[in-house]
């Protein structure tokens, strides 16, 4: 039964007030010997776990590169329809048009979150 059908009949499936997000790893890739202008090195990476960003000790990451990625990361964390382009496209170009680097977003394990731990907003009513 689809969500629309269950709403039409007044039946609401009981669920735990939890949701899942993928942890993500973003890795710098570049052609061998390429001149990199964004300050990255091939193999540099960071991970996104929930809303927290983790970098290896001693490694930085350009705020301009991060800005180019930032709006895509929450969408990549979510479970997507297999026909959605966001489910298949994983490389993002460096924002400097003269820099050949790409940032590859890879999904890692799913992490479960309780709604009450992530927001103070009450859950809206699911019944019509």
Q: What is the pLDDT along the chain (128 residues), one digit of tens a residue?
A: 444 444 444 454 556 688 898 999 999 999 999 999 888 899 999 999 999 999 999 999 999 999 999 999 999 999 988 898 888 889 999 999 999 999 999 999 998 887 767 776 777 776 65
Where in 70-116 does DSSP place strands (E)? Answer: 91-93, 102-114
Asked if residues 22 and 76 have their Cβ atoms less than 8 Å apart, the reply is yes
Predicted model pTM: 0.78
Distance CA 121, CA 118 (A): 9
Residue 17: predicted pLDDT: 84
Q: What's the confidence (pLDDT) of residue 4?
A: 45
What value, to the nearest 5°, has the Cα angle with vertex 94 and ends 93 and 98?
A: 110
């Amino acid at each position: 039964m689809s969500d629309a059908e269950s709403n039409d009949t007044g039946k609401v499936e009981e669920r735990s007030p939890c949701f899942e997000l993928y942890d993500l790893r973003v890795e710098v890739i570049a052609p061998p010997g390429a001149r990199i202008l964004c300050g990255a090195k091939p193999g540099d990476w960071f991970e996104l776990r929930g809303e927290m960003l983790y970098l290896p000790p001693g490694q930085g990451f350009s705020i301009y590169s991060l800005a180019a990625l930032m709006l895509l990361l929450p969408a990549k964390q979510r479970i997507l329809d297999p026909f959605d382009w966001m489910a298949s496209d994983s490389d993002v170009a460096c924002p400097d048009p003269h820099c050949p680097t790409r940032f590859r977003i890879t999904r890692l394990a799913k992490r479960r979150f309780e709604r009450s731990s992530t927001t103070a907003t009450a859950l809206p009513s699911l019944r019509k």
